[in-house]
Chain A
Amino acid sequence: MKFTCLSKGSGFHFPPCHMLNFCGIRILFDCPLDLSGLMAFSPIPTSLDALLFEESNNNEKRHKIEDLLDAKSLIFAEPWYKTVNNLHLWNASLIDVILISSPMGIMGLPFLTRRKGLSAKIYVTEASARLGQLMMEDLVSMHAEFRQFYGPEESNFPPWLRQEELEILPSVLKDILLGKDGVESGGWTPMYSAADVKDCILKIDTVNYAQEVCYNGTLVIKAFSCGVEIGSCNWILDGPKGDIAYLSSSCFFSAHTMTFDYRSLQGTSSLIYSDFSSLSDAQDIEDGDNNSDPTSDTLLPLSFQDMDESSLNSDENLEEKEKLVFICSCAIECVKDGGSVLIPINRLGTILQLLEEMTTSLEASAMEVPIYIISSVAEELLALLNIIPEWLCKQRQERLFAGEPLFAHVKLQKEKKIHVVPNIHSHQLLMNWQEPCIVFCPHWSLRIGPVVHLLRRWCGDPKSLLILEDIVNPELALLPFKPVAMKVLQCLFPSGIGLQKVQPLLKTLQPKTVMFPEDLRLKTSFSCEKSFSVSYYTEAEPLKVSCQKDSSELKIAADLASQFYWKTFKKEGINVTRLKGNLLMENGRHHLLLDNNKKTSESNSSLVRCGLADYNKLLPALSEMGINASIEIVKDDVESQNVCLVHTKEPYKALIEIGNTSTVITTADANVASILYKAIDNILDGV
């Protein structure tokens, strides 16, 4: 088994990407897109910006002004997109299976599916595929605005990727374009088209949670909910050589999607730990959540079974609820002052909860403020959310059983409390537009989508409020809109396994070997009493882990087994039999079934014989058959072995030469040979 981490990703929108060679099958986990790369580009320029842009272009000699970053230093061109660079080193046609663990992990898939020669089976949960499709369609439609503005691209190689252009870029942008090591420029590709997305979706095989799918008869693949986003999942791969669990970012609590089903991951022999979320959490100083609170300290030595499930979840639940309430109170405060609230958040769970919380708070404070949701796919997305109860958390499912809509937005839409429009200049929006208001719209990078136009409108208004997602560099995100007078609130929601929970979780899952990220090595110290071995992996370095079993399981049908003719070897108490049947590979297991085909049951002679041909036994055996024989012992000079010669005279004439490892029959008659052969066969241990 060989495991290579292609990218450890960053944050919720850019999940990790790995390659695994298991049972001779090459498996790619996820195909994400690093959309934070968009921040190197300028949003669609306004007429004023366009002037500046012209100016800077005319002003031929741009100088490298170290670290003096302003809106003009951004790239004014149709953006390209940053894929996982290391993935390009692989020949796509050699990938056998692609497993997509979340809607975010599908975003880069059209780049792969449009390549020639890709023949991999692609498994995605049905919900991830549908959400992912909507997200990709939205991205394509948002990108279309750029294409309209800049017109068709002139060359295949964009000028901004040229070495001399890169040289004069501020270091922040250079880091984005080339990566920290300066080698990632190969990962940039131009946007895919709507047709590519459609084509990609057609190539996908969708699965439900806990559905068994079998690749090539060899590998049984199952997805289990991980609680981060609707449809997101962890995987279990079960092959003839053992099983392996792939643990992506997982949440023990969720207010919208089905929660982390860790019980189903129990007992696999290996486990790939691929939750990097605690990496970014811990780096963030503002986030005080990781300061270990007394309750979590006491949890450490326990395994999950010992704990009350509700106590485990309630902490996170409460924390998240508090944050939501806080955000909503800020928003209400803001609209009371006459400012508008702009929420460019793309995390579905956060949007849905904010929407519900926001409307109840508005109602409570008796305010009539319109809420707009602006996105080309919003209407379809909201409709979709209400028909997928199987993918949602317990509380939402209870609503189904009670006959209520799964999410409050259905009712709110009917009551015209929220307005869902496809884009900023849609007729419906212009007719209803009213300020102050609360707007949910993409995209979190603040470079594409309706957010750009609304941010330009409100960024100078100190009464308005911008609620940002957990962005690594908010300074850079807001750069094109400077000076920003509006209030900015950045909110962080956990999207993975908290560091304190890693150890009790692994203890509960009881794998034998764990592949763990090197980056988290220092943050988690596995206690010495751990029951599993740990191998640490780093980005782009293959890690070899030995398979647990050196043989595979084979099942023999009982009706066949009853026909076996057993032979016992005296010395070692071993029973041996020859096998005859049809070998079949199904669901990762070998089966041997009864074969009724006469054709194959021809040869009856022994396969292998062993032991010594004892001449003391041979003589009586021969005489029983009426053959007289005499013995002559000769010393072989060359091999210094004793060779025994048996001469038979009556009724046949033959010479049998018996050595330690071989016996030779010499005779003129083939019939005689076969008779003697049988006699010798009988005294040897044959199978």
Chain B
Amino acid sequence: MAKISLEELRKLREQKQDALQKRDLAGKDSQIIVGMGTCGIAAGAKTVLDEFLKVLDEEKIENVAVTQTGCMGLCYVEPTVEVIVPGMPATIYGKVDAAVAREIVKSHVIGKKLVTDHIYDRPSVDIMKA
């Protein structure tokens, strides 16, 4: 990346805003976002992340991007994972372990069924809309 000018920054922002809204990451339409703050990692988020990658690979699913984010604030149910699949509500799962990760892929991503007992919610409004 070269150093950018003001105009280029603005252009970049517009582009990326679209991308972020669509969550369109290089042709992938779905996203699994793992909360990788210290709290998440301490609770096993790394294992969960690995398991997601493993299961997606096993199932040969290529339209799902696995990314990380910081603490979602729901520390009491770490590790937390947000799953965004077209046609389904964006869902935050809590207390996710490897087994649950596997189930999320099989059930939520493939079967389009939410995984009972692990759904928590987005904790707050987003000020960017305010």
Is A bound to B? no
Residues of B at the A interface (CB closer than 8 Å) are none
Residues of A at the B interface (CB closer than 8 Å) are none
